[in-house]
Amino acid sequence: MKPLALVIDDEESYRRLYADSLAAAGFETRTADSALAAREAMVSIAPSIIVSDVRMPGMDGISFLREVRESSPDLPFLLITAFADVRDAVKALKLGAVDYLEKPVDLDELVAAARDGLGLRGSGPAAPGDIPAALLKGVVAESPLSKALFRDAFKVAASDVTVLITGESGVGKEVLANFIHAASPRAKAAFVALNCAAVPSQILASELFGHVKGAFTGAMANRDGLFRSASGGTFFLDEIGDMPMALQPSLLRAIETGRVTPVGSDREVAVDTRLVASTNKRLESEVAAGNFRQDLFYRLNVIAFEIPPLRERREDILPLARLFLGEGKRLSLSSGDIITNYQWPGNVRELANAMARAGILSNTEVVLPEHLPPSVRSGPAAAPPAAELKTMEELELDAIRDALLKTGGNRTKAAELLGISRRTMVYKLKRL
């Protein structure tokens, strides 16, 4: 018999995300949008575990935990919050909460905490199956880090939750955004993309929200805007870190209400759009510097994926190179060694350009070293000089990375290898 998880959150996107993740791991799930609704549901159901948000209208999660403890002292109760507070955490744990997780929640950690609360640590619900092959067409994920990334993205795709994708320029953020769209219930609708850094700030509002005729010079007709063009589908906002501060409140309102106001109009228009954003900037630093709104950052950072640079997932390099070369061309062994050991500061975009150049310069089917760009042929190898010393933090990060590679990206198993708890592992990953 499957364990029953009752998921409580006043925001539908979170409820669905947590319930879908637990269901994929083998739980039966029920949801409620408030503590009062959960109380009513418990008249007819007997949950095995409760997963609840802390801050909700009406009764908060900790008050509901206190109430549940009076009638069901042994019922496992897991709390989640967007506002980490040490006093709340201590209070919750004293009341018998099995764990206290901070948003954005690592979905593997959520499942692990729920299973730990039920004593299912080594057995019970199985992990979801493989990603359908059709969704991986044109996607290269040979390294353990890439495989773990796409597995998590596949879980998240089923919900409408907002996603933030970060990583260096050229790592493939739009590829991941396209994958999330293709794996979602919105796959048959439009995938609309906009690079915020490529559009002049004075016309960005019109591009996003549309305008009415006569709103400004040159506005000869009404324009829907990309939010409405993506209605029913996915809107990908690339380089969100470059969005002007003046437009950020309007974007925040669109996310919160599902409504936009065209430039020059005083009437809001409803949109049904799933938002995925990306940036190569550290938005936490941009918030601290006053360049990005904190409330917008929290709205975007519901689920965050950081794509590692290509130099950290070297198993992907040769498969990507073959993909970019296409049929009829192949790399010589020496060329393969060169590109595998190169650092690729421009990441996947630089590799694609290098293969395009090599394919043109090669008169035969074999790409030789002389066909590669000079910067790649003479570039630094992947390994640091033998005499280079590393800091303790770098050594710690190397150990964590090695453990993740050995366990195929499984954080729980990696933590066991290192002799630390999974919570300590997650904390160190966030800190490093």
For residue 232, count CB atoms less than 10 angstroms from its CB and return exposed for 0-12, middle for 13-18, buried for 19 or more. Answer: middle
pLDDT at 416: 75
pLDDT at 266: 84
DSSP-derived secondary structure letter, 211: B
Asked if residue 32 lies in contact with residue 8, where contact means CB atoms within 8 angstroms, the answer is: yes
- Of 125, 120, 119, 66, the C-alpha closest to 97 is 66
Strands 259-260 and 269-270: antiparallel
Has residue 122 got a pLDDT over 70?
no
> Using CA atoms, how far apart are residues 278 and 61, in angstroms rounded to an integer?
32
Has residue 123 got a pLDDT over 60?
no
User: Each residue of 257-301: pLDDT tens digit?
Assistant: 999 999 888 888 999 999 999 999 999 999 999 999 999 999 999
Q: What number of other Cβ atoms are within 10 A of residue 374's Cβ? A: 8
Q: Of 27-31, 82-86, 286-290, which gets the smallest average pLDDT?
A: 82-86
For residue 323, count CB atoms less than 10 angstroms from its CB and return exposed for 0-12, middle for 13-18, buried for 19 or more. Answer: middle
Has residue 388 got a pLDDT over 90?
no
Which is it for the CA torsion 240, 244, 246, 247, positive or negative?
negative
Rounded to the nearest 10 degrees, how much is the dihedral formed by the CA atoms of 238, 239, 245, 247? -20
User: Each residue of 302-340: pLDDT tens digit?
Assistant: 899 999 999 999 999 999 999 999 888 999 988 998 999
Has residue 81 got a pLDDT over 90?
no
> What percentage of the chain has pLDDT greater than the value 90?
56
Asked if residue 303 lies in contact with residue 17, where contact means CB atoms within 8 angstroms, the answer is: yes
User: Each residue of 156-170: pLDDT tens digit?
Assistant: 998 889 999 999 999
Q: HSE-up of 131 (CA within 13 Å, CB side)?
A: 26
Supply the mean pLDDT for the chain: 86
Domains and CATH numbers, the chain: 4-117 (3.40.50.2300), 133-306 (3.40.50.300), 310-377 (1.10.8.60), 392-431 (1.10.10.60)
User: CA of 401: how far to CAs of 99, 405, 428, in Å?
Assistant: 26, 6, 11
> Using CA atoms, how far apart are residues 148 and 403, in angstroms rounded to an integer?
13
Kindly state the average pLDDT of the residues 341-358.
96
User: Each residue of 140-198: pLDDT tens digit?
Assistant: 999 989 998 999 999 899 888 999 999 999 999 999 999 999 999 999 999 999 999 99
Q: What number of other Cβ atoms are within 10 A of residue 57's Cβ? A: 10
User: Each residue of 216-246: pLDDT tens digit?
Assistant: 777 778 888 899 999 999 999 999 999 999 9
pLDDT at 85: 60
pLDDT range class, residue 84, cuts 50, 70, 90: low
pLDDT at 130: 66
Q: What number of other Cβ atoms are within 10 A of residue 48's Cβ? A: 18
What percent of the residues of the chain are helix, what percent strand, and what percent coil, each to the nearest 5? 45, 15, 40
Output 415 or 197, whichever has higher pLDDT. Answer: 197
Q: What number of other Cβ atoms are within 10 A of residue 118's Cβ? A: 17
